[in-house]
Amino acid sequence: MKIYTKTGDNGTTGLLYGGRVGKDSPQIELNGAVDEAQACLGVARAHASTEIALICRDIELDLWILMAEVATQPEKRDHLKPGTTLVSASMVTHLEELIDEISTRFAPPKEFVVPGEEVTAAFLDVARTVVRRAERQSIAFVRDAPDSLVQIYLNRLSDLLWTLARWSEGTSLAARGAHRAE
């Protein structure tokens, strides 16, 4: 099987469960931003501690579910399955639970954060900004799918990425401080 199909040479792309749309359509733009966020998470994961890496991998897998939902025409949404091809309420709840649990592990910053204190945190902050762009782009998508949780998931995901970045910074700074004390 070849990696290229040539079916997109006319500026369109195929959707899950059939149909084609322009590669510049709002839903494909949204999926492009989510794909970019997923790649950014992969870079963060490659530099992260084991626990953050596992969280990032789970999120990357969740983003496939989100992209499947976005790549489905509104009239075919009845084909979607929660947690498999449709963002579910439990996926959003899981992000909220992670935010709450990880937030107990560090003192929140008292002022605006300047990204770049530590490599993993910097990559997580890049991923967060891409997720925020995807969230903005999701507004047009959810107008046609008002029952969708895509925008809410992306909102919580950006909050989780901010939380993970701050935790990673705190862990790294504490480790550097302990090392200097030795």
pLDDT in tens, the chain (182 residues): 888 889 899 999 999 999 999 999 999 999 999 999 999 999 999 999 999 999 999 999 999 999 999 999 999 999 999 999 999 999 999 999 999 999 999 998 888 888 999 999 999 999 999 999 999 999 999 998 889 999 999 999 999 999 999 999 987 555 544 444 45
Rounded-to-integer distance, Cα 118 and Cα 172, Å: 7
pLDDT at 178: 44
Rounded-to-integer distance, Cα 182 and Cα 177, Å: 9
pLDDT at 110: 86
**Computed over its alpha carbons, how large is the radius of gyration of the chain?**
18
Question: 86 - beta bridge partners?
Answer: 82
Q: For the chain, what are the domain ranges?
A: 22-106+113-174
Sign of the CA dihedral 140, 97, 161, 33? Answer: negative
Sign of the CA dihedral 33, 68, 13, 6? Answer: positive
pLDDT at 173: 52
pLDDT at 61: 98
3-state secondary structure the chain: CCCCCCCCCCCEEECECCCEEECCCHHHHHHHHHHHHHHHHHHHHHHCCHHHHHHHHHHHHHHHHHHHHHCECHHHHHHCCECCCECCHHHHHHHHHHHHHHHCCCCCCCCCCCCCCCHHHHHHHHHHHHHHHHHHHHHHHHHHCCCCCHHHHHHHHHHHHHHHHHHHHHHHHHHHHHHHHC
Q: Are 45 and 38 in contact (CB under 8 A)?
A: no
Q: Give the homologous superfamily in CATH for domain 22-106+113-174.
A: Cobalamin adenosyltransferase-like (1.20.1200.10)
Q: Are 23 and 31 in contact (CB under 8 A)?
A: no
